[in-house]
């Protein structure tokens, strides 16, 4: 062991012991991990001032202190029992001169619909409790290859919030309700609620969520972080409990745009088990940090998507201030009243129902003989036969999807064609061509509402649908706060435009620095 590291470790141990006896600082505070970035972590690892084992222990202690106890965020479903052992091994590799990449020794929390072989994968359903898949999801394999430590699995809106007509974001039958770290009486938004809360509350260096429509950007908005849903196909979806093959993607949920860029590149790759990733081959960049440019707004032409505005005057005020800042930074902003002239909400809903059934059946099949549920039809039957499942929420989306046909059905084929045509060729692509745009901008959502398990969610506004239905990328960053509650701004655009969106988002983030650390108010 490096002598300097040995001395430092001994001093840390003595200091921890003294602190524990006096009831003072936690290991997390002692190691000064609040808001730590990937670059800062790697710098402290490389100069011998920190080890992955220390960081992992600190995060595990913090999860116990403020997630399961303390303010009770309830964002974590499962902690990896092997996390410390993995961290020790990665520390040994580093001492031997083997650093796998920028994520070596970096703790990451995953949404609990992403397969891991060392923890259960449940989508928050009581019926899936104890289901441990035999193979990691493709993106988890990539992260482990890069030296990441899969620290824990995050609570979520059950079945990624596709289960009932009325529901509460962040609630699952298995894990209960996730609470917002800025005010624990408020909602974290869904369905990647646990990932958003864990990132904001500094329970890990990085977290990952999944999105069909809004499930990364909405909790990122409500929890004051950066959320990035990439183009569908840039990240593999194999080994992830799905809703929609056409519109699902996992993506970074982190505290800075730079960390989003680092994580984005680490998990890319062409996966033979996800055909959509074959389209990404010519668009993959191993290092997305090359596109981070503080002057990146200079000369950009951005379309202000105004449709979500007019629903919350104080959010509109923040948005107008943001537009002024974008223009100060060199962008030209033009108003865009609508992106698609046709309402495709009904078509999009039908696509989700059909693809949810098809995707769940394939996922259950992938679990083999150990699958706790064999099909969505069986899931619907189990739900009907367990009164506690419908005591709070109606579960109608599960019942409706179970009754759908296969993907050869004419209703599905027509809905899919109509959704894609009006969201792509006659939607985002058309408007960007006609207006010569580099990207769109719009408010991501409203401040977090009070959690209400009786009346359900209270979405005041959203801007994720155009990009979601097209399968195109979107990134949200903090743009300010209302009464201590964060609000975000979203940038979205063409497929494979991650470099441009990162450039724009980073320039705005660095010029404003609106991220605020939560204080766990009640």
Gap between the Cα atoms of 157 and 315, Å rounded: 25
Task: Pinpoint the alpha helices (H) of 109-186.
Answer: 138-145
Q: Helix 257-266 crosses helix 498-512 at what angle (to 10 degrees)?
A: 150
Pull the structure tokens for residue 213: 């429509």
Q: Which of 434, 433, 432, 450 shows the shortest CA–CA distance to 491?
A: 432
Gap between the Cα atoms of 151 and 144, Å rounded: 11
Pull the structure tokens for residue 264: 């984005």
Of 125, 131, 191, 446, the active-site residue reads 191
Gap between the Cα atoms of 398 and 284, Å rounded: 35
Gap between the Cα atoms of 230 and 498, Å rounded: 7
Task: Tell me if 438 sits within 8 A of 300, measured CB to CB.
Answer: yes
Task: Tell me if 231 sits within 8 A of 498, measured CB to CB.
Answer: yes
Kind of pairing between the strands at 176-177 and 206-211: unpaired
HSE-up of residue 418 (Cα within 13 Å, Cβ side): 17
Active site residue 191: yes
Gap between the Cα atoms of 190 and 212, Å rounded: 11
Active site residue 215: yes
Of 157, 215, 238, 465, the active-site residue reads 215
Gap between the Cα atoms of 228 and 249, Å rounded: 10
Gap between the Cα atoms of 105 and 50, Å rounded: 10
Q: Which of 120, 55, 103, 109 shows the shortest CA–CA distance to 223?
A: 109
Pull the structure tokens for residue 288: 């997305």
CB proximity list for 70: less than 8 A, separation 6 or greater: 520
Of 111, 300, 357, 404, the active-site residue reads 111
Q: CB burial class (10 A; 0-12, 13-18, 19+) of residue 285? A: middle
Active site residue 111: yes
Identify the H or E element spanning 45. helix 38-46
Dmax over CA atoms of the chain, in Å, equals 70
Gap between the Cα atoms of 20 and 18, Å rounded: 6
Pull the structure tokens for residue 198: 């864990």
Task: Tell me if 146 sits within 8 A of 265, measured CB to CB.
Answer: no
Peptide bond into 253 cis (omega under 30): no
Pull the structure tokens for residue 75: 């964002």
Annotated catalytic residues are 111, 191, 215
């Amino acid at each position: 062991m490096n002598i300097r590291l040995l001395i430092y470790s001994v001093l840390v141990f003595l200091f921890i012991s003294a602190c524990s006896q006096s009831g003072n600082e936690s290991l997390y505070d002692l190691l000064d991990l609040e808001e730590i970035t990937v670059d800062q972590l790697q710098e402290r690892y490389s100069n011998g001032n920190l080890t992955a084992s220390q960081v992992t222990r600190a995060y595990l202690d913090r999860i116990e202190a403020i997630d399961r106890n303390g303010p009770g965020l309830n964002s974590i479903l499962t902690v990896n029992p092997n996390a410390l052992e993995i961290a020790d091994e990665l520390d040994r590799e580093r001492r031997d001169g083997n650093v796998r990449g920028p994520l070596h020794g970096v703790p990451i929390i995953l949404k609990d619909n992403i397969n891991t072989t060392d923890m259960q994968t449940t989508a928050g359903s009581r019926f899936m409790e104890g289901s441990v898949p035999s193979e990691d999801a493709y993106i988890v394999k990539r992260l482990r290859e890069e030296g990441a430590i899969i620290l824990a699995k995050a609570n979520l809106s059950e079945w990624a919030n596709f289960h009932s007509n009325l529901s509460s974001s962040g609630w699952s039958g298995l894990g209960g309700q996730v609470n917002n770290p800025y005010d624990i009486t408020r909602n974290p938004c869904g369905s990647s609620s646990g990932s958003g809360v864990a990132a904001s509350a500094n329970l890990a260096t990085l977290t990952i969520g999944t999105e069909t429509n809004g499930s990364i950007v909405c909790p990122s908005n409500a929890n004051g972080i950066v959320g990035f849903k990439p183009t569908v196909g840039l990240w593999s979806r194999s080994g992830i409990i799905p809703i929609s093959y056409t519109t699902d993607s996992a993506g970074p949920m982190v505290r800075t745009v730079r960390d989003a860029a680092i994580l984005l590149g680490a998990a890319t790759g062409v996966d033979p088990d996800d055909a959509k990733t074959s389209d990404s081959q010519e668009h993959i960049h191993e290092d997305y940090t090359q596109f981070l440019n503080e002057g990146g707004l200079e000369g950009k032409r951005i379309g202000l998507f105004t449709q979500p505005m007019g629903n919350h005057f104080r959010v509109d005020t923040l948005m107008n201030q943001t537009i002024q800042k974008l223009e100060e930074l060199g962008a030209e902003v033009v108003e865009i009243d609508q992106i698609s002239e046709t309402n495709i909400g009904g078509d999009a809903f039908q696509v989700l129902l059909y693809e949810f059934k098809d995707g769940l059946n394939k996922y259950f099949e992938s679990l083999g003989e150990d699958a706790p549920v064999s099909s969505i039809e069986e899931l619907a039957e189990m739900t009907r036969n367990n009164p506690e499942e419908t005591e709070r929420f109606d579960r109608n989306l599960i019942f409706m999807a179970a009754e759908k046909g296969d993907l050869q059905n004419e209703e599905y084929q027509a809905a899919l064609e109509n959704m894609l045509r009006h969201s792509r060729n006659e939607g985002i692509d058309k408007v960007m061509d006609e207006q010569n745009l580099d990207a769109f901008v719009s408010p991501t959502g409203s401040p977090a509402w009070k959690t209400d398990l009786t009346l359900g969610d209270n979405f005041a506004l959203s801007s994720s649908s155009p990009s979601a239905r097209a399968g195109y990328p979107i990134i949200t960053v903090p743009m300010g706060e209302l009464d201590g509650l964060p609000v975000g701004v979203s940038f979205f655009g063409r497929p494979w435009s991650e470099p441009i969106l990162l450039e724009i988002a980073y320039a705005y983030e660095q010029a404003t620095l609106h991220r605020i650390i939560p204080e766990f108010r009640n």
